[in-house]
Amino acid sequence: MNPLLLLVTYTAKPGMREHFLHDIQESAILDTIRGEDGCLTYDYFLAAEDADRLLLVEKWASPEQQQTHMDQPHMKALGEIKERWIAQTHVERIDFKEGDQK
């Protein structure tokens, strides 16, 4: 199995980044995702110079496990939270090949 790394940059609606973070923490979605089979990393990082941006770093044991993750019911709830607070999402996908650094 080759791991998959996703770098997801969120741009919150103006002034709404903290609302987004509050909602995902209160919903327990993060704990649920981190407990999924194949989830190696699922962490948010805040931009120091832009109060509306944050970065999600996801690492999965395989692309198939990440796809299974996307089909879980809690991802619909996360989508609803994102719709309320997030204006834009950009995803960078990094697929590791055999022999790459893990």
Q: How is the chain split into domains, by residue range?
A: 4-95
Q: Which CATH number fits domain 4-95: 1.10.1840.10, 3.40.50.2300, 1.10.390.10, 3.30.70.100?
A: 3.30.70.100
Residues of the chain with pLDDT under 50: 102
Spatial contact of 69 and 60, defined as CB atoms under 8 Å apart? yes
The whole-number pLDDT of residue 30 equals 94
> What stretch of H or E contains 87?
strand 86-95
Cβ atoms of 68 and 38 within 8 Å: the answer is: yes
Q: What is the pLDDT of residue 96?
A: 76
| Residue 65, pLDDT score | 95
pTM of the full structure: 0.88
